[in-house]
Structure 1
């Protein structure tokens, strides 16, 4: 028997980041600031991420390239892994992600790669609460209420896979 299902989600789109809360604007500013520490001599593509933890701390991360391309890390994972080391078991409320190419902010918000989405979901699950995602471009901002919407068929754990 064939069953057809639909998986869609709603998100908020803003044409001006000033429409966001003061807290979200501050997080976006931290993500933009994080881009300055990007090591991206090969692509000139700078990504900044900023995470707000439940305890109010903000953690920044930026992409770090390597001459051996697969050895670099995305901004999101840099920030998430640092947060996991520095503040283990503190839930993450929100992550904001910004990007620029050749020192010009991208017009449209960019979505995280699959590996980052998976790590974001794992971090969300450790905190056991939804993690908001703010994707920032020059033209608009997307706010997604939970990272799980970005990867509906995520890999939760080996135990889940073998049940």
Structure 2
């Protein structure tokens, strides 16, 4: 038997003002996108903004549906839109903001499992890590250098080739 330990490293900022100017702007765009979320069932609004290597910023918000599995998270809305419209561009950064309509949240909220897998897929596809920043409606911001920081054993397409 071999025993291995997996570790992660994250950065935590007190608020958005501690980020570099470009990342502040990207996070502000995620807050703007959050306002366009359609979440009448959960009342939980999420916005995402991606910075692509061609300079484009792509925004997405969660979109719910009465048939719950048919909805889509903000992160995947933005990632899939970028993939469909800029298939040759790399995603450099993603900024995510999330909060309930009923309660102002100041705790950083990370991507859900499905979104983690989608981000992992794009890191693998582009052979380049994606910086991930996430926060609640306000307050602390967490930075990951790669999705691997929170999903070190991601499912990869290479497993399908067995």
TM-score bracket for this pair, using the shorter chain length: over 0.9
Q: How many Å separate the matches in 2 of 1:69 and 1:14?
A: 34
Other-structure match for 1:99: 98
Deviation at 1:149, TM superposition (A): 1.7
Deviation at 1:86, TM superposition (A): 0.8
Do the aligned residues in 1 keep the contact of 2:110 with 2:135 (CA within 8 Å)?
no
Output aligned runs, 1:143-154, within 5 Å. 143-154=143-154
Deviation at 1:105, TM superposition (A): 4.4
What TM-score comes out, normalization by structure 1 length? 0.93
Deviation at 1:49, TM superposition (A): 0.4
Q: Which runs of 5+ in 1 are unaligned?
A: none
Other-structure match for 1:42: 41
Output aligned runs, 1:47-66, within 5 Å. 47-66=46-65
Other-structure match for 1:5: 4
Aligned Cα root-mean-square deviation (Å): 1.4
Q: How many Å separate the matches in 1 of 2:2 and 2:64?
A: 44
Output aligned runs, 1:87-126, within 5 Å. 87-102=86-101, 105-126=104-125
Do the aligned residues in 2 keep the contact of 1:99 with 1:105 (CA within 8 Å)?
no
Q: Deviations over 1:44-101 (max 9, x none)?
A: 1000000000111100000000001111000000000000011002011000110121
Other-structure match for 1:79: 78
Moved over 4 A (4+): none
Other-structure match for 1:128: 127
Deviation at 1:102, TM superposition (A): 1.1
Q: Which runs of 5+ in 2 are unaligned?
A: none
Deviation at 1:16, TM superposition (A): 2.1
Counting matched residue pairs gives 161
